[in-house]
A and B are shown apart, each in its own frame.
Chain A
Amino acid sequence: MSYYLSTVAVYFGVDLMAAWALNMQFGWAGVPNFAFIIFQAAGAYTAAAVSLGPDTGANAFQHYILGAQLPFPVPLLVAALAGGVVSAVVGLLTLRRLRRDYQAAVFLLIAVIASDVVAADVNLFNGSNGLAAVPQPLAGLAASLGQAGWQWAYAGFVAVICIGVALLSRRLGGSGWQRALRAARDDEVAASALGLHPPLMRMQVFMIGGVIAGLSGGLLVMFISAWSPGAWQYSETFAVLTGIILGGVSNDWGVLIGTFLVQVLFVEVPSFLPQIGYPGLIDALVWVLIGVMWLLVLFFRPSGIWPERRRRVLSRLRARAGAGGR
């Protein structure tokens, strides 16, 4: 049970920081990033490749680029960088000239194409078999604490990074930059006519989201020790997005609740259920449930369980003005 709970805790932490990152892009800036999962995958692959060492000797059974053996936590920094670089390239292709509905279609296509290319090219990241035997970080800690202790320690490490992402989201979320992003989300032409630069701001938030996504991928692969195209199908982005929409777009606490409901209760708890029907039926039903949940939320509570709060100033400013003798 302890193994299971610590595993769920790591998954939740990774999913939560991914959800906050996607919320910055989608909730704040209105970027319909259906390719989000590829930035997490970029981080996971690069973190794995720079941890495994060369693809010779013990790793001769798999082929990959970037083979290196960098000390922990450098692979995580490389993963974050990879997420940022890939998001910069994808952002330059999609964010500058395309309208939002076309962006959504292009993101979806990019996610599918990226997955197919990586699965087909065996020399890139070992094709459809993916990378395995990624060394777990801080092996000495595992020797002294035992596997369960190591898992809890890693969950704690993920929690610390999660708090860091939350603090970043909070700082940016209360800034004029985020307010300008929301303005550009509502009306880009009017925002630029006021002196704001929507393409630049959108690119910035896209890259910040990409860096966090890459970091989350790195954290995940160093925990589960393997990564393959099956782990990052485009549908994974919909699970993250469902958590955001269910919890409350643009509200960090709402996103936390929504991510917990979707990623832990809907995705993890069914693995406790006794097997029914043919193998894989429960997994398929989970995706049906996620889709139904999305529709129900959009119909009955489009702003989510914990909606974005209204930033009220009236009472505060009136009090201040009154004190100043206005």
Chain B
Amino acid sequence: MTDPAHSPPEGKALLQTRGVRVRYGGVEAVAGASITMQSPQVVGLIGPNGAGKSSLLAAIGGQAPIASGTVLLDGRDITRMAPHRRARHGLLRTFQSASVFDGLTVFENLVVAGAGHRGASLRTALLGAGRRALEDEASSRASALLDEFDLWPIADHYGRELSGGQRRLVEIARCLMRSPRLLLLDEPMVGVAPHLVARIGEHCRRICSAGIGVLIVEHSMDVVRSICDRVLVMANGRVIDDGEFDAVIVSGAVKEAYLA
């Protein structure tokens, strides 16, 4: 498993959002969401369709503009930070529709993430300073992840040749190439065969045990129950409950949110 690049500063939450609001035109998708992840955990984000879960993930990842509120990663304010800079600070994510690079092989999908912005710089490409070392390092990390995720048989396959489940695995493995501090997974089990759902769940637990926080949007209560340390419930753009799965699931507010 990949080790995280940085240790969290003492006393600082891994992730904290305070009153985050996201608006799309006149629609307020996230209406003042505040969440905190103190230590690396697997945290489930559940709620009915339209609750604002994916929008909150997009606000944390930098894909959705934040109208107001703040997002802190390891105590650092990243509210106005561009997505690529958030990634360089250890905040990685997957997308609701698996975003594998179709014209790159699986191996390239991993290496392009592992080589990072230094490996992707024009200066390195032209001058060659450290180019070989960067490539070798990224290749060996990719090899280790191909082993771990059992992706060797498809290492030379293009992204467009993969099944839905394979795309999910590649997407998660690709994030790990960047040695994340926090991983945001947006419905990683959608369209995935049952045996791969179990594998992705196992990977989530192993990622967490390596010191990486995981915030996962998921609709399957079985999956949430089996892999999450803690569950956040969203409805109408707000976080309405927070706790262990068994406690949250019997809460009246949650039942009301799902039945509303």
Contact = CB atoms under 8 A, between A and B. Distances in A.
Contact of B117 (A193, A195, A326): A195
13 contacts: A176-B111, A179-B115, A182-B104, A185-B103, A189-B63, A192-B82, A192-B87, A193-B62, A201-B120, A204-B122, A310-B156, A312-B156, A313-B139
Given A186-B159, A317-B143, 20 more contacts: A176-B115, A176-B134, A176-B135, A182-B104, A183-B104, A183-B112, A185-B103, A186-B104, A192-B87, A193-B61, A193-B63, A194-B112, A194-B174, A195-B117, A311-B105, A312-B105, A313-B105, A317-B107, A321-B143, A326-B143
B258 to A, nearest CB: 30
Interface string B122-149: 1011100001001100110001000100
Contact of A176 (B85, B112, B174): B112
A196 interface: yes
Contacts of B107: 311, 313-314, 317
A243 B126 CA distance: 27
B125 A177 contact: yes
A28 B191 CA distance: 30
Interface of A: 171-172, 175-180, 182-183, 185-187, 189-197, 201, 204, 310-314, 317-318, 321, 326
Contacts of A179: 104, 108, 111-112, 115, 120
Scoring A195, A313, A317, A321 by chain B CB atoms within 10 A of each residue's CB, the highest score goes to A195
Contact of B113 (A175, A187, A194): A194
A312 B155 CA distance: 8
Contacts of B116: 195
9 smallest CB-CB distances across A and B, nearest first, come from A175-B125, A180-B120, A190-B99, A195-B87, A176-B119, A177-B125, A186-B101, A176-B115, A183-B101
Contact of B122 (A187, A190, A192, A201): A201
Interface stretch (B13-21, B26-34, B48-56, B88-96): B88-96
**B contact face: mostly helix, strand, loop, or mixed:** helix
Scoring A176, A191, A314 by chain B CB atoms within 10 A of each residue's CB, the highest score goes to A176
Contacts of B174: 194
Given A187-B99, A195-B88, A317-B155, A176 B131 contact: yes
Size bin of chain B's contact surface = 35 or more
A133 to B, nearest CB: 38
B102 interface: yes
Interface in B169-213: 174-175, 178
A149 B186 CA distance: 67
A179 B122 CA distance: 11
A197 to B, nearest CB: 5
Contact of B125 (A176, A189, A190, A326): A176
A289 to B, nearest CB: 29
Given A189-B95, A192-B83, A313-B155, A182 B117 contact: no
A186 B112 contact: no
A180 B112 contact: yes
Nearest to A185: B103
Scoring A177, A187, A193, A317 by chain B CB atoms within 10 A of each residue's CB, the highest score goes to A193
Scoring B61, B85, B115 by chain A CB atoms within 10 A of each residue's CB, the highest score goes to B115
A313 B156 contact: yes
B80 interface: no
B120 A176 contact: yes
Contact of A177 (B122, B156, B178): B122
Contacts of A201: 120, 122
B84 interface: yes
Given A176-B120, A190-B101, A196 B84 contact: yes
A192 B147 CA distance: 26
A194 B105 contact: no
Interface in B69-92: 82-85, 87-88, 92
B121 interface: yes
A313 B104 CA distance: 12
Contacts of B102: 186-187
Nearest to A181: B120
A196 B84 CA distance: 6
B109 to A, nearest CB: 8
A314 B120 contact: no
Contacts of B99: 187, 189-190, 193
Nearest to B107: A313
A175 B124 contact: yes
A197 B88 CA distance: 11
A103 B177 CA distance: 32
Given A195-B116, A313-B107, A182 B87 contact: no
Contact of B158 (A178, A183, A310): A310
Contact of A193 (B83, B104, B147, B155): B83
Nearest to A312: B156
Nearest to A175: B125
B57 to A, nearest CB: 11
